[in-house]
Chains A and B, each alone.
Chain A
Amino acid sequence: MTILDEREGNRETAVNPKLERRARRRDAWRGFFHAAPAYLYLTLFFTLPLIIVFVFSFASRGRTGRPLLEGWNIDSWTRLFEPLVRTIALRSFWLAVLNTALCLLVGYPFAYWIATRRKQATRNILLVAVLIPFWSNFLVRTYAWRMLLDSDGYITQFGEMTGLWGRLLFTVPAVFLGLLYGYLPFMVLPLYAAIERLDWSLVEAGRDLYASGAAAFRRITLPLSRPGIVAGSILVFIPSLGAYVTPDILGGAKTTLLGNYIVTQFGAARNWPFGSSISGAILIVMLAVTVFYFRSGGRTL
């Protein structure tokens, strides 16, 4: 009954405005009731702790690094504008952008291939096959890559034989390899969802109008799969911004990224207020990106 209410077109069929209103109110209450447990939980175990973190970012630093609730200052926030922080943030930003682009480049043809298999069963199996590697422990996987890429590894030997590359371990390509490996599913899944939903009759229509395959792809398929591209890019970009374990293990920890910088503040540097302010800043930026995504007409991820 209430779903009918939602459709504007059904307003004329409303029999009794008072009934309508009561139904709507009951509807609102139902909605609240459904969300209440999750809402309560998140408030208790997420929003409130988060507020504490924001509060801490204005506190001063104690001997053990823990914030002291006195001497309120905005030092932690002004430090965000130091050149060091800017360098680190920029580096993480470029890493995330490049990784997203790489994932898109590799992921799109792959997702397209899976989405265009004829049988639903085949598509399902292929999708599950994409996910299976991720049910193994992340660290174990990354260390396996380390082994594969070291001087004795087959990959390096192959590279040396063909003259294409030397030792890959602890180089920049290794880092991107590891990141691509870790984030590919996040790109493939939304892309697959978008491409699979495509109305192929449109492509056929384009063909009927003498469009070449490439043109049809460029002007029909690609734009129509845009929601998938955007969703996948966001799902890859955001975690990439904070990634640091893979660059550490495969890249030799030769660069400081936002992720390890934050960890250091809560660790060796014993400066929790600063760690809080960096985290807070990242959250605000991410939130802005997500808002932008929704404002530009994005759908739910």
Chain B
Amino acid sequence: MMKRMLILVAAVALVAAACGDSTDETTTTAAAGATTAAPGTTAPPATEPPPAGPQALADACEAGQTDGDLNLYNWTEYLPYGAAAEDGEVDDLKEAFEAEYGVNLVITEYESNEAMLAQIDAGVPYDLVVPSDYMVTVMKNAGLLLKLNKAAIPNMANIDPAFSNPPYDAGNEFSAPYQWGTTGIGFSYDVIDDSEGVSWGVIFDPAMNADYAGQISLLDDERETMGAALKYLGYSLNTTDEAEVNEAAELIAATKANLAAFISAGFEDLLVQGETVVAQGWNGDFLGAYDAASTDDYDAYEDFGYAIPVEGGAAWVDTMAIPATAEHPCTALAFINFMLDAENGATLTNYTYYASPNMASQEFIWEEILEDPSIYPPAEMLQDGSLEFFSDLGDFTNMYSDAYARAKS
């Protein structure tokens, strides 16, 4: 009985495979009616034109015009609303948007760029998504995003010139910056003295961390974790040189014994609680945790710090983009304009503790955030290479994945 079943399944699978394109999974924009398939893997990235319908609609939008409720697909806790906004003592931006434009805001949340990509690729009709820099490149090259109708976003003028022509999306054609931040090291002053800068060696060099071995954490993210190792070894974190990538993987494998954990969610909590004393992580998460741990009598900033390592760290930008299958592009554009408003941009930063790419917001951002070099590093760092942006590796993504998997196996 079972054997018959196995043979049956095998036969059907072979037949289905032989029949080739009886299923048309190449349609990446199923709902909107796709034009061409995604470009072949060897061709240079050509920007796919999204289908005519929604793009034309978007281009016809005027500033402030809305066409229905907004389906926002955002990272968890990346927009202040509800009780969380109250806790953070900032305005409820969801209510503000709904009041100003008279539409509803439906929020669905995700935890990784790829989970969002899977849904958008499958044609789920969200109106606005918040992809990270490298993901914008991937999505626009696959024709998954609409070009922004700048006429409907007058507040684009508020953006800091440093972000007006980013490498991942020339001229901000498809995306508008949302927040940006850095990846570095959070630490306890008990074990680290940062007067002369902190090195990645506090994580990777056994000679340096003998005292607190087992109390170190790295992010659990192939680009970020491999990036830290690459930076320590003196390479670019976008390198496609296999030897360099393998060297980084071996370093991570060797470091594993000294680690408490690879962790991307809650690393700041572990640090504040004392489980770890040195942790790789994102500045906003650390600083938000330090602030939450501080009370009237206790200033967590005296015990904990954040630094961008001397060998260099990573910088990243999260952006707002409109999927090609959006059903309410006008409202989406209105939302982008809303978020780029000076005050709203400031509210966002005051909530997330990440830096705002919005220059006009600076007068509304809290002093302590504006003056914190961990949140707003000196501008030179973006230029002199101490902070590198991630770029999409295209076909080399697999190399990194496997190297990372090898490091952890």
Q: Which residues of A come within 8 Å of B, CB atoms?
A: 51-52, 54-56, 58-72, 84, 87-88, 91, 150-152, 167, 169-170, 248, 251-256, 261, 264-271, 287, 290-291, 294-295
Contact = CB atoms under 8 A, between A and B. Distances in A.
Contacts of B141: 63
Interface string B10-36: 001100110011011110100000000
B6 interface: yes
Question: Interface size bucket, B side?
Answer: 35 or more
Given A169-B275, A252-B259, 17 more contacts: A55-B13, A55-B17, A61-B41, A62-B26, A68-B38, A69-B20, A71-B40, A84-B409, A252-B261, A252-B263, A253-B262, A254-B262, A255-B408, A264-B405, A266-B118, A271-B401, A291-B3
Contacts of B260: 169-170, 252
Contacts of B217: 252
A268 B39 contact: no
B394 interface: yes
Contacts of B221: 268
Contacts of B222: 264, 268-269
B115 A91 contact: no
B114 A60 contact: no
Nearest to B2: A291
8 contacts: A59-B25, A63-B394, A64-B38, A69-B24, A253-B408, A256-B409, A268-B112, A270-B138
Contacts of B58: none
B106 interface: no
Given A56-B25, A254-B256, A254-B262, A269 B397 contact: yes
B139 A64 contact: yes
B383 interface: no
Given A58-B17, A84-B402, A253 B121 contact: no
B110 to A, nearest CB: 11
B398 interface: yes
A272 to B, nearest CB: 9
A287 B23 CA distance: 26
Interface in B123-156: 138-139, 141-142, 144
Given A84-B406, A256-B408, A291-B2, A55 B16 contact: yes
A92 B405 CA distance: 14
B261 A170 contact: yes
Contacts of A256: 405, 408-409
Contact of B114 (A52, A67, A255, A270): A270
Contacts of A60: 41
A244 B138 CA distance: 28
